[in-house]
Structure 1
Amino acid sequence: MSRRNTLKLLGAGALAGLAEKVPAAGRQAFDFDDPADNLRGFIKMTSSLADEPIVGWYSGMVFGNVPGEILKPLFWLEGFGVGETVRQPDGSYRSSWKEVGYYRDVETRRILEDWRNPYNDELCDVMHIHNEAVNTVYSTRFPELPPLSETSDFEMQFPNYTRTGAEFVLPWQVMDGHITLWNDFRGKIKNVLDPDVWKRESTGDYIRVTEMFQFVGDFEQFTDPNRDQIDYTGAWNRLAPWLPWMLMGRHPGELFYRCTTTKVAKFEDLPKDIVAYTEKHYPQYLDYETPWKMPNESSWEVYMKEREPAP
């Protein structure tokens, strides 16, 4: 399913067309215009309605994007997350998630311990992704957040493109027996790495991050009332500042991530070197326990806890 086809959902006419996709007899009806149906459909596709843990895998390439230059492949990225989504008494869903990700050499794909930065020729000590709390609550409304100010450290926008309010209505498409969905957030967040202290690690006072997810599943599975989750393949794209361990400071540019995603049945289905590296360095990520923990910790906060400012 091409990105171009997915973009056709942005008009109100696309949603009207979706309403014509009526499931066959014995299938579960789905109203693409109803926030409650959108919420249940989103959880069914991306997680599970049965309050059970799932494992998600991702793999792709990270590129450097410097103004005026062709994108430069910097390293592969591969990892996984585990979590569960539990329905709450008010009808919302509480999602608990933890994740790891490992940077790999572009040519050999070996997991990196250090990396030669092509922009400054510095040998950098790699810090792999290990986030213990990537948690959120999903409801029939997106969070209504204030703009950045002295009392608000972040601003976020969500993909309910056909709505002027905060209703949880997503851009779906049904095509040739498949159902597709994309979900994204576009945000600007106060940088916990003070540029006056973390002179080589910090890219500035604020971090601009965009994450875009696409999911493609089987429409028959999606409308099967006996299924609590469905299989999917998907994509994760991300625009974000240079990673702190790259020691880029305020060098112009950013990172672009392009990854494939899917669910796997169990940890043993993951690549063997990923499992072995996790067993050695982050064994707590190889269990299905994902206790609810707030606030979340970003990779920048983990870096601040575990590293010192570079000389």
Structure 2
Amino acid sequence: MVGMKLGRRDAVKLVSAGLALGATSTATLARTRVAAPVAGTPEGRFRSYMMMRAALDERLVIGYVSGSYFGVVGAEVTPLWDVVGATFARYRKRPNGGYDGVTGEIAHFLDPGTGEAAGRFLNPYTGKWMTDPRNNLPPSRLTLLPTLELEVPKLLPGTRFDHVIKVPEVRGDDTWITEVTRVGMPAPPGTPGFNYSEMVTLHARTADLQRTDVARVPCLTSFTNVVDWRPWMDMAGHPGHLTAIGSGRYGVTLKDLPDRWTVATRKQFPAFLDDPGALLDPLWNG
């Protein structure tokens, strides 16, 4: 039953595009240097977005977010658990100037007191213990177009998908780009669907975005989401929803990822610490 099994990571499979700074040399870019497009033009906006959120070449790009989840009933907010996730992606340029991407995620829900991915949480609304299924996001395909549109193949029939990249806000040497994603997943008759929305704001230096000798730039990010109760919380019929806040970076290496993520991943998915690109290989090399 789609409506009962889908969770945040299933919804994010439609939109996830976490990216980062890899080890690819900038020498090739330097030898073929051309003037950067004007920042206020459609071409310039797309280039800035790719350099902040993605990359202009095919390097493995890594990003992370670290934050906390809360339950919301009416106007009352209740702390629930922490979350730390890392995203991995590669992008290949298309003849039309867009990029085909493959992206995946490894995320952990953590006990706020211990910082460990215990896999079980006490539900303060029901008084019952909840078991996190601890399923991580398999790799998925997406396409970023020069029009700042995101295309996702093979959406389930009836899925509502809306993704908007807002016009960059530039003040001196600071540039912000905010993207808003809203996903509604269908469900069988009589069963509630699953809704997931997120708002991500990217921040980079304006001068960095005008460089022609790099494929991406350092980028800070802030994150907020609003999402239905997760099916494994056993909250069917209970009013309210979840929300999360967090912050992180795009443009990091494995050693830059939060220690809590590394510890939890070493316990559950140790092979990916030796070869994080293996998460994407089934689709990237396919």
Same fold (TM over 0.5): yes
What's the RMSD between the two structures over aligned residues?
Answer: 2.6
Match of 1:281 in 2: 268
Report the AA paired with residue 28 of structure 1: A
**In 1, Cα distance between the equivalents of 2:234 and 2:212?**
51
Structure number with greater CO (CA < 8 Å, separation at least 6) is 2
Q: Is the 8 A contact 2:228 2:241 kept in 1?
A: yes
Give 1:265 deviation, angstroms: 3.0
What are the ranges of 5 or more consecutive residues in structure 1 without an aligned counterpart?
1-25, 161-169, 197-203, 295-311
Q: Percent identity?
A: 18
Residue 188 (structure 1) aligned with residue 161 (structure 2) = no
Q: Judging changes above 3 Å, is the alpha-carbon distance between structure 1 residues 284 and 238 closer, same or farther for their aligned structure 2 residues?
A: farther
What are the ranges of 5 or more consecutive residues in structure 2 without an aligned counterpart?
1-33
Secondary structure of the equivalent of 1:128? Answer: coil
Q: Is the 8 A contact 1:48 1:85 kept in 2?
A: yes
Q: Which has the higher strand share?
A: 2
Match of 2:223 in 1: 236
Q: Mean Cα displacement is larger for which, 212-221 or 237-246?
A: 237-246
Give 1:156 deviation, angstroms: 2.2
Give 1:134 deviation, angstroms: 4.0
Match of 1:140 in 2: 146
Q: Is the 8 A contact 1:100 1:128 kept in 2?
A: no
Q: Is the 8 A contact 1:99 1:285 kept in 2?
A: no
Q: Judging changes above 3 Å, is the alpha-carbon distance between structure 1 residues 268 and 283 closer, same or farther for their aligned structure 2 residues?
A: same
Match of 1:87 among 89, 93, 112: 93
Give 1:276 deviation, angstroms: 3.1
Give 1:144 deviation, angstroms: 8.5
Match of 2:158 in 1: 153
Match of 1:291 in 2: 281
**In 2, Cα distance between the equivalents of 1:186 and 1:119?**
26
Where does 1:51-200 land on structure 2 (aligned, <5 Å)?
A: 51-67=58-74, 69-128=75-134, 130-141=136-147, 142=149, 152-159=157-164, 170-191=166-187
1:209-265 per-residue CA deviation (whole Å, 9 max, x = no partner) reads 211110000111111111110001111111111112211123111110101020253
**In 2, Cα distance between the equivalents of 1:178 and 1:275?**
31
Match of 2:200 in 1: 213
Larger Rg: 1
Q: Mean Cα displacement is larger for which, 259-268 or 180-189?
A: 259-268
Match of 2:30 in 1: none
1:134-191 per-residue CA deviation (whole Å, 9 max, x = no partner) reads 431011343689xx9xx9421222326xxxxxxxxx3201113111101111232214
Match of 2:211 in 1: 224
Q: Mean Cα displacement is larger for which, 83-92 or 47-56?
A: 83-92
Secondary structure of the equivalent of 1:109? Answer: coil
**In 2, Cα distance between the equivalents of 1:259 and 1:71?**
16
How many residue pairs were aligned? 245
**In 2, Cα distance between the equivalents of 1:89 and 1:273?**
41
Give 1:195 deviation, angstroms: 8.2
Q: Is the 8 A contact 2:221 2:250 kept in 1?
A: no
Match of 2:245 in 1: 258
What TM-score comes out, normalization by structure 2 length? 0.77
**In 1, Cα distance between the equivalents of 2:179 and 2:251?**
20
What TM-score comes out, normalization by structure 1 length? 0.71
Give 1:284 deviation, angstroms: 5.0
Give 1:27 deviation, angstroms: 6.7
